Amino acid sequence: MSSFRTAVVVALALASTPAFAKKGEAPPDPCKVTAPTIEQTGIPEMDAVFSKARTIQDTVASQTTEMCTARTNLNTALGVATDAPVKTALEDLKAKASGKLQVALDGAVPKILPADDAPDNVKTAIEAVNKLIGASTEASKETIGLVPEAQSLAKTAAAFPMKVPTMKVEGVDIPTAIKVVGEDVKAMKLLPNQIQGLTAEMQNLYTDVKAVLGS
């Protein structure tokens, strides 16, 4: 493959590669992030790295799904739009509860307690809030420790797209491999921010619960 063609193919493979969030920027909403799935390429030395990153990606995806499902269930329980901000749902709950709830703390983790005479719909919504708090807390706990490894793997893989055109691996179509490697690298670059987004979601939820329902 000519050097010119190599440069073009690699550039296309890396086009629109998401960058890490700039310092001071909020991490992305975990429920709105999409990324290509990290796949095997048939190139052993690269697949060893991609396999480790895929394990992290699968963990992040699983925890994100649990949290986002809980978020949707909360909005559904309250009858607000499924894509409405959590704060909107909490404000709606406060209005419906008419003071028949309180916020307790288990360490730093808030928990909503209904009054005995709270309406059933309020108790159902409170249960949904607590499930969201639990899912969000678990998502952060299970993924935040993976950030250093995700960053290290992404750094290692950054040079892979330029290496592929120079390789000769039996049974591997190089143009196809360039595309797959490029997509894998893009997905790996997203992982640290996705994880940080889960933690930010948890922290924002705690803040909103205390501000809206604790006052």
**Domain spans, the chain:** 63-213
CA–CA separation, 132 and 3 (whole Å): 52
CA–CA separation, 86 and 92 (whole Å): 10
Contact 60, 192 (CB under 8 A): no
> Could you report the per-residue pLDDT of 55-113, keeping only the tens digit for each?
999 999 999 999 999 999 999 999 999 999 999 999 999 999 999 999 999 999 999 99
Contact 70, 131 (CB under 8 A): yes
> Could you report the per-residue pLDDT of 121-152, keeping only the tens digit for each?
999 999 999 999 999 999 999 999 999 999 99
> Could you report the per-residue pLDDT of 9-23, keeping only the tens digit for each?
333 333 333 334 455
HSE, side-chain direction, 13 A CA sphere, residue 15:
7
